[in-house]
Amino acid sequence: MPRPVVAFDYDGTLVDAYEIKRESYWRAVAETLGLDVSRRPIVDASYARTSGAHRLQQLADTARALRLEVSTEQQEAFSRRYSAYNDAAKDRMVEFPSVRRVLAALRNRFDLVLISGLPHDLLAADAASRGLAGFFSLIEGGDKGRTLRRLQEEGRRVMLFVGDTPHDEATAREHGVPFFKVGGDADLARVPQVLDSV
């Protein structure tokens, strides 16, 4: 019988990246769509609502909020810019201090799965470059819900989804998976105790 699964989001859950990515998102959207700073509150509100979703889902929400149409070429330009800004700021995105201790403790009892709205290749490369990939039995970027659904269809019991955003919580709820919200390192450090009570 397969071991139970614990799923982790990446940015904001294991890596402290929210504010840096919010700034990268604003810059990429503003440059791609030709926005001035007066539109930033709308873009920031959209980012807060959709953080954790795939970047093109985020952009679609932002475009709706701005009442703009976005072409395929603009989507591609936005994605390139967003990746470039995030890559330039990568050294400022650091792991929460208890990440390795928590993952090491949990992998003895559970199969750990890393899921993210990041494109798969970026997620896998970043996790590998940080030396985190070895903790996980599966790493999948793109659509978190699709991964949770596939695990369930394979008969896997997903014990907990650990994330940091409303999107993460909604995804867990949609798939009937218990959710634990991480707001920083202190929350992440509590995950083993939370799993003892699930």
pLDDT tens across the length of the chain (198 residues): 789 999 999 999 999 998 999 999 999 999 999 999 999 999 999 999 998 888 999 999 999 999 999 999 999 999 999 999 999 998 999 999 999 999 999 999 999 999 998 889 989 999 999 999 999 999 999 899 999 999 999 999 999 999 999 999 999 999 999 999 999 999 999 999 999 987
The residues, ordered by sequence, that sit 6+ positions from 14 with a Cβ below 8 Å of its Cβ are 8, 95, 96, 99, 114, 132, 188
Evaluate whether 92 touches 108 at the Cβ level (below 8 Å).
no
Tell me what pLDDT residue 161 has.
98
The span from the CA of 158 to the CA of 150, in Å, is 11
> Structural domain boundaries of the chain?
5-16+95-196, 18-91
CATH number for the segment(s) 5-16+95-196: 3.40.50.1000
Burial degree of 2 (CB within 10 A; 0-12, 13-18, 19+):
exposed
Token pair listed for 28 = 């990429």
Instruction: Indicate the pTM of the whole model.
Output: 0.85
SS3 143: coil
